Amino acid sequence: MTYITGRGRWYDISWKGIPEKSGGVAVNIGIHFFDLLLWLFGEAGDSRVHYSDPHKMAGFVELERAKVKWFLSTDVNDLACKDAPGPQTTFRSITIDGTEIDFTEGFTDLHTLVYKEILAGRGAGINDARPSINLAYRIRTASPGLRDNGMHPYLAHEKL
Closest among 75, 72, 112, 124 to 94, alpha carbons compared: 72
Q: Where are the domains of the chain?
A: 2-148
pLDDT at 77 (0 to 100): 86
Spatial neighbors of 51 by CB under 8 A, at least 6 apart, are: 57, 58, 59, 144, 147, 155, 158, 160
- Tell me, what DSSP letter sits at residue 142? P
Cβ neighbours of 33 (radius 10 Å): 21
- Per-residue model confidence (pLDDT) at position 157: 63
Nearest partner of 129 among 36, 19, 49, judged by Cα: 36
What pLDDT does 108 receive? Answer: 72
User: Looking at residue 72, what is its pLDDT?
Assistant: 95
- The pLDDT value recorded for residue 85 is 56
Tens of each residue's pLDDT in the chain, 160 residues: 999 998 888 898 999 988 889 999 999 999 989 999 999 999 999 999 999 999 999 999 999 999 999 999 999 888 866 555 556 788 889 999 999 988 888 777 777 888 898 899 988 888 988 999 999 999 999 999 877 777 888 886 665 5
pTM for the structure as a whole: 0.86
For residues 11 and 74, is the Cβ–Cβ distance under 8 A?
yes
Can you identify the CATH homologous superfamily of domain 2-148?
Dihydrodipicolinate Reductase; domain 2 (3.30.360.10)
